[in-house]
Chains A and B, each alone.
Chain A
C-alpha cells in the first residue's frame, strides 16, 4: 500500500495573529499555551510557599510590602494566621490543578500525543481550544479570590465542609473567596472533561498505520490512562463541587448535619454528612495523584531508554503496571480517611487495596533500574532529571508504605510526615518529570536547544534543594508536628522542632532562587539557543522525524507508517544505535 493520505481533521494553517496564537485550534499551540499557563502558575504557587515558609519561622516579622499586597490580611505588615491559611489553600490548589494536572497532561500531552502516534492534530481541535480557554478562565477566577473582601479561602485544597460550606461565619475568606474557589474548580473540571474525551478519542482513533497499542511510546500509554482517570475523577468532583455550592447558596444540606453552632450562630441545616464530601472528594482526589504522576512516569521511562541507549526493560510489564495503577487508583480513596470516623472495617479494606497499588509502582521502579542495567548512559539534562525522578519516586513511595497502614496513620495522619510524603512524590517527583520533559522536548517545541550547562547546574542544585526541604518534614512528622499550622508558638513540643523548620525554610528560599536559572535558560534559549536539528537526542519516536518545530500539519500531509516499537536502541547489527519507528523494515534489514 502506498503511504496513507489523510482525509480527515485537515485544517489549513490559520493566518491572523488571533487565530494563530490566541484562539488557535492547533494542538501544538494549545500545548504551549497550557505549558506557559502552568509555568506562570508554578511560579505563583512557589512564591506562596516561600511566603508560608517565611511566616512559619518569623510569624511576627513586619514586612512593609505584605501590607501593600494584603491590606487586611497583613495589616501593619504582619501576616495573620488567616492570610497564612489562604496562601496555603491557594498554593495547594494552584499546584495540584494548574501545574501538576496541567503541564504534564494538557501541556506535553497536547503537543506530543498527536506527534508520537502519527496524527495531524487532536480528534476535536475546537473542543481542545475551548478546554484551554476554560482552564484559563478557571485560573483567573481562582486568583480573583485574593482580591475580594475577606480574601482567599482558608479551608485548604481539600475544602472539607462544614468549614467550606457555612460561609464567612467560619472565617475570613470563607465567603466570596470560597465561592470563587468552587467556581474555579467547577470550570477546571469542565475543561478537564473536554480534554479527557479528546485524549481518549485521539489515542483510539488517530494512530498512524502500524502504530499498534503495544508499539506506542509509554508516554502515550500514560496520557491515555491519565485521560480515563480524568474523565471518571473530574466528573465526580464537578458533581461534588455543585453540591457544595448549593449548600452555600441555596440552603441545601448535602454536607451539613443538624445542630451546627458556628461562631455562636445556630444554623438551620439538617440531614447532611460531612463525610460524604470526603468520599466524593477523594474518589477524585486519589486518582488525581496518578493524574499528576503517570505522565511523568511515562516520560521518565522514555527518557531513561533514550539516554541509556537501551530498550525499555519489560515494556509489557510497564504497560500493565500503568493500567493496574489506573484501575487500583479508584479503589484506594479511603486511605485518606482512616481517622475520619468512617467504619473501621472499611479502613482495613482500603488499607489492603492501598498496599496492592504499591506493587505496580514497585514494578516500575525495578524496570527503570533494569533499563539502566547494562546500558550506555549519556548524562544530558533531561536524563539527569529522569534519574532524579527515580530517586525521588522511591523516597516518596516508601513513606506511603507507612501511611497506607491505618494503624500507623493513627499517629502520622495530618502530620508533616504526610506533607513530606506527598510533596516528594506528587509534588517534586512530578515536577522533575515536567523538567525532564521540558529539557527533552524544548528543542522540538521551540526549534532551539536549551543551554546544557545551565540545565545541569539547575538540576544539581534543585535535586539537593528538594531533598533538603522535604526530608526533614518526615522527621518533624515523626515527632508529631501537625500540618496546616500558621505558627508553632502555642505548643511546647513544637518549639523544640523549630531548628528543623528554620533549616527547611532556608532550603526553600535557596531552591526557589535556583528556579530563576531555569526561567532564564528557558526564555534565553527560546531566542538565543543553538538551532535544534530534527533529532538532537537520536531518539526513535515519531516527533523526531519532523522538523523542529514541526509544521502546522505535523507530517506535511503524509502520515507516517510505523514498523516497530518505540524503544529500539542498540539493535545488534544495525549501523547506528537506534531504529526510528517509521524506518521501513527493508531499509533496516539492508543495513544489517
Chain B
C-alpha cells in the first residue's frame, strides 16, 4: 500500500523537475539547437505522458487490488487489448524516431556550403588543437615525425611546405558568428569526443579517421568544450573553448595570428 504513494510521489517529482526545467540545457546558439530542443520537448511530452500514466496505473492497481477477501478474476488475457497496445506502442515509438531523422540528417547528411570556414580539430591525451588553413586556403603538409607539443607543433606541420607556413594553430576554437564552419576531426592517439553543449553537437574523434562535422554559431560568446569519450587519466581535464566572435573581431584576430606567425618565421 505505501508503495503506491511512493511510486506516485516519484512520478510527480520527476515530471515536475522536467516541467519546471530546474536543470536544463544551456540556451541554444543556432537554428539546429532550436530544432533540437523542439524535438527533445516533443519526445519529452509523449514519453512523459506514458511514464506518468504507467506509474499512475501501477499505483492504482496496488491500492485497488490489495487483498480484501474478494476473489481474483480468472482471466488469461485479452487478444484485442494486446493488439491495441502493441500497435499503439509501435506507432508512437517508430513515429518518434522518424520525426527525429530530419534533425540528425540536418547535421550529418546535409553538406556545408563550399565557402565554409574550414578548421581541423586534433585530439590528443589530454589537449585540443585547432588548425586554420590561413590566407592560401590550404592545409599544409604534416608529418608525425615532426610532432612537437612543447614547441607548439601538435600537428607535425612541415615548414618546408609553403602551404604549411601560414597555417594557424591554436588551443581554442574561434569562429565568426553567422558563418558556416566545417570541422575535420582527427585524433592521434586514442578516441576523444568533441562536444559543445550550446551547439547540441557531439562527435567522436577516431584515430585513423577524418570525420567531418559542420555547424554555424549565431550568438557570440565563450562556450566550453569538454572531452566526452573516455581517453585516459586526464579525461576530465581535457578542456577547450569555442569562442564565437563577431566577423569583425574574427578578422582582427586572424590578422593578429598571421602577424605573429610572420614574426616567428623571420630568421
**Residues in A lying within 8 Å of B, measured CB to CB:** 80-82, 85, 154-156, 160, 162-163, 166, 170-172, 256-264, 266, 272-275, 308-317, 339-341, 344-345, 347-348, 351-352, 354-356, 358-359, 362-363, 365-367, 369-370, 372-379, 384, 387-388, 390-391, 394-395, 398-399, 401-402, 404-411, 413-415, 460, 463-464, 467, 471, 475-476, 478-480, 482, 484-488, 490-494, 497, 500, 569-572, 577
Q: How far is the CB of B144 from chain A (nearest CB, A)?
A: 5
Contact with A along B31-72 (1 / 0, CB 8 A): 000001001100110110011001101100110011110111
Contact at B86–A308, with CB atoms within 8 Å? no
User: Which listed residue (B93, B96, B101, B124) contacts A348, Cβ 8 A?
Assistant: B101
User: Which listed residue (B73, B100, B204) contacts A405, Cβ 8 A?
Assistant: B100
Complex: A363 Cα to B68 Cα, angstroms: 28
Complex: A344 Cα to B213 Cα, angstroms: 12
9 nearest interchain CB pairs?
Answer: A257-B208, A374-B73, A314-B77, A407-B103, A344-B108, A485-B236, A362-B89, A407-B100, A475-B23
Q: How far is the CB of A369 from chain B (nearest CB, A)?
A: 5
Q: How far is the CB of B24 from chain A (nearest CB, A)?
A: 6
Chain B residue numbers with a CB within 8 Å of A570 are: 71-74
Q: Given A314-B78, A379-B66, are A485 and B235 also a contact pair (CB < 8 Å)? A: yes
User: Which listed residue (B54, B108, B236) contacts A81, Cβ 8 A?
Assistant: B236
Contact at A406–B100, with CB atoms within 8 Å? yes
A-B contact pairs, 26 of them (CB 8 A): A162-B189, A162-B207, A166-B189, A172-B233, A257-B209, A259-B208, A272-B208, A309-B67, A311-B74, A314-B82, A339-B193, A352-B98, A355-B93, A363-B82, A363-B85, A363-B86, A372-B58, A376-B67, A407-B103, A410-B36, A414-B228, A471-B14, A479-B24, A485-B235, A486-B233, A577-B72
Chain B: CB-nearest residue to A169: B189
B152 at the interface (CB under 8 A from A): no
Contact at A317–B233, with CB atoms within 8 Å? no
Complex: A274 Cα to B109 Cα, angstroms: 23
Chain B residue numbers with a CB within 8 Å of A384 are: 3
Q: How far is the CB of A249 from chain B (nearest CB, A)?
A: 19
B22 at the interface (CB under 8 A from A): yes
Contact at B73–A163, with CB atoms within 8 Å? no
Complex: A317 Cα to B79 Cα, angstroms: 9
Chain B residue numbers with a CB within 8 Å of A387 are: 3, 58, 62
**Residues in B lying within 8 Å of A, measured CB to CB:** 1-3, 6-7, 10, 13-14, 17, 22-26, 36, 39-40, 43-44, 46-47, 50-51, 54-55, 57-58, 61-62, 65-68, 70-79, 81-82, 85-86, 89-90, 93-94, 96-98, 100-105, 107-109, 124-125, 144-145, 147, 149, 188-191, 193, 195, 197, 200-204, 206-209, 211, 224, 226-237, 239
Contact at B61–A414, with CB atoms within 8 Å? no
Q: Given A171-B233, A401-B43, A493-B224, are A263 and B125 also a contact pair (CB < 8 Å)? A: yes
Chain B residue numbers with a CB within 8 Å of A162 are: 189-191, 207
Contact at A388–B3, with CB atoms within 8 Å? yes
Contact at B239–A490, with CB atoms within 8 Å? yes
Contact at B206–A340, with CB atoms within 8 Å? yes
Q: How far is the CB of B67 from chain A (nearest CB, A)?
A: 5
Complex: A93 Cα to B180 Cα, angstroms: 43
Complex: A162 Cα to B209 Cα, angstroms: 13
Contact at A411–B224, with CB atoms within 8 Å? no
Contact at A274–B228, with CB atoms within 8 Å? no
Chain A residue numbers with a CB within 8 Å of B207 are: 162, 256-257, 259-260, 274
Contact at B236–A490, with CB atoms within 8 Å? yes
User: Which listed residue (A377, A476, A493) contacts B65, Cβ 8 A?
Assistant: A377
Complex: A312 Cα to B2 Cα, angstroms: 24
Q: Given A170-B125, A490-B239, are A259 and B25 also a contact pair (CB < 8 Å)? A: no
Q: Given A373-B61, A398-B47, A404-B97, are A258 and B228 also a contact pair (CB < 8 Å)? A: no
Contact at A484–B189, with CB atoms within 8 Å? no
User: Which listed residue (B46, B109, B144, B204) contacts A341, Cβ 8 A?
Assistant: B204
Chain A residue numbers with a CB within 8 Å of B3 are: 379, 384, 387-388, 460, 463
User: Which listed residue (B79, B211, B228) contacts A482, Cβ 8 A?
Assistant: B228
Q: How far is the CB of A571 from chain B (nearest CB, A)?
A: 6
Contact at A491–B224, with CB atoms within 8 Å? yes
Complex: A354 Cα to B76 Cα, angstroms: 30
User: Which listed residue (B7, B47, B232) contacts A170, Cβ 8 A?
Assistant: B232
Chain B residue numbers with a CB within 8 Å of A404 are: 97
Q: A260-B189, A263-B189, A406-B104 are in contact. List 13 more A-B contacts (CB 8 A).
A: A85-B233, A166-B190, A274-B191, A308-B65, A313-B76, A341-B204, A401-B93, A407-B102, A460-B6, A471-B10, A480-B195, A487-B236, A497-B23
Q: Given A414-B193, A476-B23, are A407 and B72 also a contact pair (CB < 8 Å)? A: no
Q: How far is the CB of B9 from chain A (nearest CB, A)?
A: 9
